[in-house]
Amino acid sequence: MSYQALRRRLDRGRANYEAQQHHLSLLSQYLHEPRSRLKSLLRRNQRFLHRVESFRNHAQSKLRLRHYLQSFQFKQREEFHELQTACPGSRILLSYHFGDFVYGNNVLAACEGPNRRQCFLTQLPSSPAFLANMHRCFGDDFQHREQILTDKSSAAALVAKLRNESCTLLTFADLPAGFGERIEVQFLGRRAWFPKGPAVLALASRTPLVPVLNYSETAANRIILFPAIEPYRLSGESIHQACTRITQRLVDILEVVVLQYAWQWRFLAHLPQYFYRTALPSHD
| Contact status, residue 95 vs residue 170, Cβ threshold 8 Å | yes
List, for residues 55-78, the tens digit of each pLDDT value. Answer: 999 999 999 999 999 999 999 999
Note the CATH architecture for domain 46-275. Answer: 3-Layer(aba) Sandwich (3.40)
The pLDDT of residue 45: 95
- 57-82 burial, b if ≥16 CB within 10 A, otherwise e? eeebeeeebeebeeebebebeeebee
Residue 116, classified by CB atoms within 10 Å of its CB into exposed (0-12), middle (13-18) or buried (19+), is middle
pLDDT at 17 over 50: no
Separation in Å, CA 125 to CA 136, 144, 148: 18, 16, 9
Mean pLDDT across the stretch 23-38?
A: 84
The pLDDT of residue 281: 52
Choice among 2-6, 37-41, 138-142, 276-280 with the minimum mean pLDDT: 2-6
Q: Which residue has the higher pLDDT, 165 or 199?
A: 199
List, for residues 95-122, the tens digit of each pLDDT value. Answer: 999 999 999 999 999 898 777 888 998 8
pLDDT at 160 over 50: yes
Sorted by where each begins, the domain ranges of the chain are 1-31, 46-275
CA distance linking residue 108 with residue 75, whole number of Å: 11
Q: Taking the model in full, what pTM does it have?
A: 0.88
Among 248, 258, 150, 162, CA closest to 203? 162
SS3 18: helix
